[in-house]
Amino acid sequence: MNHRPAPVVATEQGAVRGLRQDDGTAAFLDIPYAAPPRGADRFAPPRPHEPWHGVRDATAPGPNAPQSERRLGGIDMAPYFGTGWSPGEDYLTVSVRTPAVARGDLPVMVFVHGGGFVAGSTRSALYDGSAFARDGVVLVTLNYRLGIAGFLDLPGAPANRGLLDVVCALRWVRENIAGFGGDPDNVTLFGQSAGATIVGGVLAAPEAAGLFRRAIVQSGSGLGAFTAEQAARVTAAAAEALGVRPHADAFADISDARLVAAAAELTGIDLRTAAHHDPLIGLSPFSLVLDTQPAEAVAAGHGADVDLLIGTNTEEGRLYLVPVGKYATSTAEDLDDTAARSHPNPARLVETYRRTRPEASYGELRAAIMSDALFGAGTRALAAAHSAHPGSGTFAYEFAWRSQALDGELGATHAVELPFVFDLTHLPQLHGPAALLGPDRPPADLAARMHATWIRFATTGDPGWDPYDTEHRATMRIGAEWARIDDPRGRERQAWS
C-alpha cells in the first residue's frame, strides 16, 4: 500500500489536494478555473472563481456541463461521450495529471473534448491522461459550456461562450501550471472534433495570443463556423421552442434542464443560405459563430507563431452512417442529397468522387463526401493558411488504421485515433464487435508510437516528419505502417477549392 502523503498544490484561488497514484503520478480533479455559470451568468463571459479557504479536495470527478445522454446507433460511444450529465453548477473545471509537483519545466498539454458542441466532459474514459503524466507531460483536460449556454448566438450575450471558457482555462494554466510541474511557456492546446474546431478558433483569436505555443487539431475544421445569418436561424428556433424572446435576458431564468431539452429539438434545421452551405451538414445546430472563418483569420496572420499539427482520419464519415444502418442502404438519392448539403456544385462533386473511386458503393461515396465536408476540406484550408507564413511549423497527418467493428464497415472512422493518442487501447470497453476499436487487437506498437509522437511535437514542435506546404502537402499516413504521402487524394481536394 502507498503511504506517501497526498499531494497539495497552491493555486491563485486556493490550495488543492490530489491523489497520489501507484505509478508515481498524481491526479487533481475538478479544479475550478472560472466561477459557476448560474442564471444570467450562463450567457456572460467567464468570471474568476471566488477564492476558497483551506485545502479544496481534488480527488473525485465533479459535475459537467448540462447535456443530453448521447447514443449513436449500434456502436458503443460511452467512452467518448461519457455517461451524460452529472449535475452541479461549479462545472467550469480542469483536471490535471502530472508526473511530479516539484518541477516546473515539463511540457503541458491542454485537451478540448469533442461531442458536437453539445456533449462530452473530462469524465469520459478516453480522456484519462495517466499515460501522458507517466511519460513526463502535465496533461490538462477541461469542461466548457455546451449547447445553448455555450454556443447559441444570443443578442445581449457574447458569442462563442464555450470558446471563451477555453481561453479562460488557458489563462488559468498560465497562472497556475508551474505549481503542478509544468512550463507555462511550453503549452500545447489540442482537441478533437468539435474540440478541434474550437482549437482552430482559439488559434485565430487575438485574445488567446501568447497563451499557448503549439496546437494539435484532430478532425476539426478551419471552415466550420456558422455565419451570423445561419446562427440567427438556430436562435429563432430555440426561442420558439422555449416560448421566449430571442434575447439573453429572456433565457436567464430558464432552467438548465429545459435548455438541454430545447437543444435536443433543434436538429434538422436547414442552415443553407444563398451564399453559404451548412459546414456541419445538418449534424449539429451548434458551432462557432464568426464573421471570418478560422482558416481565413490564420491566413491573415493570426496564430502564425504557433506550431501546428493537424490531420483527419481516412474514413471519418462512416461514424455517421454505419452505426445507424445508413451505410449499406445508401441510395443514389442519398448520395446526391449529401452532396447538395456539402457543396455549391453537387453534381461535379459526385462525379469527381466517382472517378477517383470507380468501384465504390453509394454508401462509400456518401461517407467519403461527408468526411471532406465535415473535416477534410476545412483541415486542408487551415493547414494551407498556416503553412503560408514563413517560419511557421505546420505538420499534417492522416490516421488510417481501420477498426473492424460492425462487421468491418466502421473502418478508420471519426474518433478512432483517440485511444492511440491517449495510449488507452487496452481499455476493455473499446473492444468488441460493437466497440470503437472492434474485435481485433490493433498493432502492438501503434498506440505507443502515436502517443510518443504527440508528446514529441508538444515538447519540440517537430513530430518527426517533413513540414506541410502547399506544393507537396507532405502528410504522414499513420497505421500499421507509417508512410509519407504527398497530396493524398489530390483530385478530391481540388474539388473543394
3-state SS assignment for residue 36: coil
Burial 45-81 (b: 16+ CB within 10 A, else e): ebeebeeeeeebebeeebbbbbbbebebeebbbbbbb
Q: What is the dihedral of CA 451, 452, 457, 459, to 10 degrees?
A: 120
316 is catalytic: yes
Cα distance between residue 414 and residue 114, in whole Å: 11
Cα distance between residue 26 and residue 138, in whole Å: 10
Please tell me the number of Cα atoms within 13 Å of 236 on its side-chain side: 9
Are 277 and 229 in contact by the 8 Å Cβ rule? The answer is no
Are 376 and 289 in contact by the 8 Å Cβ rule? The answer is no
Listed residue (462, 464, 461, 484) closest to 473, CA to CA? 484
Q: What is the dihedral of CA 362, 364, 370, 373, to 10 degrees?
A: -100
CA distances from 6 to 84, 115, 139 (A): 30, 33, 19
Catalytic residue among 121, 193, 330, 387: 193
240 is catalytic: no
Catalytic residue among 277, 302, 414, 451: 414
89 is catalytic: no
Catalytic residue among 296, 315, 316, 364: 316
Concatenate the DSSP letters of all residues of 2-20 into one string: --SPPPEEE-SS-EEE-EE
Handedness of CA 296, 297, 300, 303 (dihedral sign): negative
Cα distance between residue 103 and residue 101, in whole Å: 6
Cα distance between residue 191 and residue 79, in whole Å: 16
- The residues assigned a catalytic role are 193, 316, 414
